[in-house]
């Protein structure tokens, strides 16, 4: 790929406050006003609401206390999906090398377009103009030599910005940023670093790899040491398949009775297992994610003997993981649950085992999938979910 002088050639394009921006685009009365998407739990919020302290996944009551004048609107997933598809068409019209991260962000490699389309920053400017003109949304773009730094640049440039990080200014730009800008630094890791008076990326870089490993463990320490020096050799990859498939649901502060949590988990397993079968994937590792009332998170996992997309098998594993966490939930509260299946493979690589079981349960999954494909997801539901409001199905990139 031709990149003159090792120039910054990777774009990270990220739509601003996506759900809320679509609502403001479609309803002029919402423009310039604080908007919250979702009532019981904040699914998204506009920058006007963010400036008042409202955050995604916050309970609706807390959000309205912080911003009483906020306008609360129900989610319109079909509108967000249509907007995402329109934006991704512009991405792919800009360059064939597009790696989607979610429905509202992607990496684009434009290094091979220099002779026909000019410098990457000019391409980014035209991309932003076209998304604004054709889709009616603001998009922020970071431009850098690595995927990591391009994403950091777009985060710094938000909202509705464009930021180029020249190769000879990379470490100067990166090292003055707070440690929270590094991928993988969440609340717990940041607290460990702050306890040692490490608050900037530059201080992380100066610690040295051995010190970081002793503080954070080998994997995390080596990872952060590399990022603090902008070492990220990953290319932009087209058509990369997911390494895991999951779903989650914010619950609000509760308290939440155990039968309610179990019903939500069943709903999530139904959703994930159907996505796996649609994508032709099976998986071995079942993951349960919990967020407690103090917003700390834990993850529990179990690896099955063989890969599967069988709903009941996955649900049984999730129920065992939940059972093991019941006491923690009772003591600490629960605000979010999520499940995922990892160690994915193609379903055609599944090795059959003797004796063959002609009533394995896959037939029931297949029959339910066909009914839902024909009549909609709500055509069939579990008895435990009757009378319960189910969470919205968030639009996703293809699995």
Active site residues: 105
Per-residue HEC secondary structure of the chain comes to CCCHHHCCCEEEEEECCHHHHHHHHHCHHHCCCCEEECCCECCEECHHHHCCCCCCCCEHHHHHHHCCCCEEECCCHHHHHHHHHHHHHHHHHHCCCEEEEECCEEEEECHHHHHHHCCHHHHHHHHHHHHHHHHCCCEEEEEECCHHHHHHHHHHHCCCCEEECCHHHHHHHHHCCEHHHCCCCCHHHHHHHHHCCCCEHHHHHHHCHHHHHHHHCHHHHHHHHHHHCCCCCCCCCCCCCCCEEEEEEECCCCCCCHHHHHHHHHHHHHHHHHHHHHHCEEEEEEEEEEECCCCCEEEEEEEEEEEECCHHHHHHHHHHHHHHHHHHHHHHCCCEEEEEEEEEEEHHHCCCCCCCCCCCCHHHHHHHHHHHHHHCHHHCCCHHHCCCCCCCCCCCCCC
CA distances 50 to 16, 42, 59, 160, 230, Å, are: 12, 11, 14, 15, 30
Q: Are strands 336-346 and 281-291 parallel, antiparallel or unpaired?
A: antiparallel
| Dist. CA 361–CA 313, nearest whole Å | 9
Distance between CA atoms of 363 and 348, rounded to whole angstroms? 16
Q: 399: annotated binding-site residue?
A: no
Distance of CA 43 to the CA centre of its chain: 13
Q: Is 160 annotated as a binding residue?
A: no
Angle in degrees, CA 100, 103, 104, rounded to 5: 90
* CA gap 392, 251 in Å, rounded: 12
CA–CA separation, 87 vs 395, rounded Å?
A: 14
Give the residue numbers of the binding site: 14, 104
Binding-site sequence positions for Mg(2+): 14, 104
């Amino acid at each position: 790929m031709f990149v003159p002088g090792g120039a910054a050639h990777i774009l990270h394009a990220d739509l601003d406050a996506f759900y809320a921006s679509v609502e403001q685009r479609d309803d002029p009365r919402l423009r310039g006003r604080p908007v919250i998407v979702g009532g019981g739990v904040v699914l998204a919020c506009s920058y006007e609401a963010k400036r008042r302290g409202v955050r995604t996944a916050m309970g609706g009551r807390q959000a309205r206390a912080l911003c009483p004048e906020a306008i609360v609107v129900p989610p319109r997933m079909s509108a967000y999906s249509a907007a995402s598809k329109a934006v991704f068409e512009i991405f792919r019209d800009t360059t064939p090398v597009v790696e989607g991260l979610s429905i509202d962000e992607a990496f684009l490699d434009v290094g091979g377009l220099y002779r026909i389309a000019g410098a990457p920053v000019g391409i980014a400017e035209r991309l932003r103009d076209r998304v604004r003109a054709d889709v009616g949304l603001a998009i922020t773009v970071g431009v850098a030599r690595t995927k990591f730094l391009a994403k950091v640049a777009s985060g710094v440039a938000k909202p509705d910005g464009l930021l180029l990080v020249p190769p000879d200014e990379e470490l100067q730009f990166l090292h003055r940023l707070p440690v929270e800008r590094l991928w993988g630094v969440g609340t717990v890791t940041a607290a460990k670093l702050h306890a040692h008076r490490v608050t900037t990326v530059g201080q992380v870089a100066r610690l040295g790899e051995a010190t970081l490993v002793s503080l954070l463990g080998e994997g995390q320490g080596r990872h952060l040491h590399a990022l603090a020096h902008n070492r990220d050799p990953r290319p932009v990859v087209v058509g990369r398949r997911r390494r895991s498939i999951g779903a989650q649901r914010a619950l609000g502060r509760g308290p939440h009775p155990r039968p309610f949590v179990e019903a939500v988990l069943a709903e999530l397993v139904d959703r994930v297992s159907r996505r796996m079968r649609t994508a032709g994937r099976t998986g071995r590792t079942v993951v349960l994610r919990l967020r407690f009332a103090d917003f700390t998170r834990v993850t529990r996992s179990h690896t099955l003997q063989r890969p599967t997309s069988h709903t009941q098998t996955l649900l049984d594993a999730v129920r065992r993981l939940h059972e093991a966490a019941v006491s923690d939930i009772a003591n600490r509260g629960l605000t979010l649950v999520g499940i995922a299946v990892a160690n994915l493979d193609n379903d055609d690589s599944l090795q059959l085992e003797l004796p063959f079981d002609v009533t394995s349960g896959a037939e029931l999954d297949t029959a339910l999938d066909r009914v839902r494909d024909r009549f909609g997801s709500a055509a069939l539901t579990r008895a435990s979910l009757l009378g319960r409001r189910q969470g919205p199905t968030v639009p996703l990139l293809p699995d």
